[in-house]
Every structure is written in structure tokens, then in C-alpha cells.
Amino acid sequence: MSDHPKKKHFLNLPKYSGGTRAFREFIAENLRYPEAAFQAKIEGSVIVEYDIHDNGTVRNQRVVKGIGYGCDEEAMRVVGLLRFDKVKNRGVRVKLTTKTTIHFKLPKTLINYTISYSIKEDKPTADTEQKKDNSPSYGYTIDLNGNLK
């Protein structure tokens, strides 16, 4: 026999349907980077504490650790959209208090560039005819466009 007996769970707790992966995907799909944080180039994590009632609704969201610039309000908005599975506990109503960390990370900058080559052949003029140098000159242009995606 093992030294540690199996823990008994007397209460069923609300769980997010689909598990942790679906929970993170939901947050990623619904999270919008606040304009003020984007302009100020703010990155960081917001910790939100909230209550999950037995019917699966989220209430009483509060920021435990915030970074400002609208990120705290956005994190609370996204947490308020969450819906968990309903639980039954032999007539006992359950309220679970939990925390979630929501990360705000700026999107990476993609640089699009085009290179165009051109060959310039000098048209003979009175000055170039004297030099007798008929070698073409080469030039190129690099156009950099930094787009955020």
C-alpha cells in the first residue's frame, strides 16, 4: 500500500469546459491590446482574482496586480466573459475564488522590403564622348515598410 492515501474531494468545483488549453485560447481570442498601452509600448502581466459561482458565472473580478494603461480594465473585461461548467454538490451551493494571470505582450514588428535594381546607361553627350568610358552604372533602391501585425 502507498504511504499517502488518495485525497478525497468532497465538493465538485467549477471547471472550464475544454480544459486549460481552451481557457488560454479563449483569452487570446478575446483579448484586445489597449490603445494607450500600445502607444506607450507597455508589456506585462495582470493578475485578476474572481469568484466562480456554482452556475458557472464569473463575478466580483478584482485586480490583484496591475500594470495600468487600460490593461487592468481589459483583463477584467475578458475574465467577465468566461463561463464555466455548472456543478452540483448535493444541494450545496459552491463559490470558488481563483486567480488568473493575463499576459500583455506587444506584437512583433514585421519588416517588408523590396529591392529593385536598375541599370543606367549614360547617353552620349559632348562631355562623355571625350571620356570614351561606356561602362554602365548600377543602382538599387531598398524600400523598408515596418508593418505591425
DSSP bridge pairs for 111: 146
pLDDT greater than 70 at residue 14: yes
Q: What is the pTM of this model?
A: 0.64
CA distance 111 to 88: 53
Note the pLDDT of residue 65: 94
Q: Per residue in 89-128, is it b (16+ CB within 10 Å) or e — as a string?
A: eeeeeeeeeeebebebeeeeeeeeeeeeeeeeeeeeeeee
Residue scoring higher pLDDT (131 or 22): 22
CA distance 73 to 118: 53
C-alpha cell of 110?
A: 514585421
Note the pLDDT of residue 133: 57
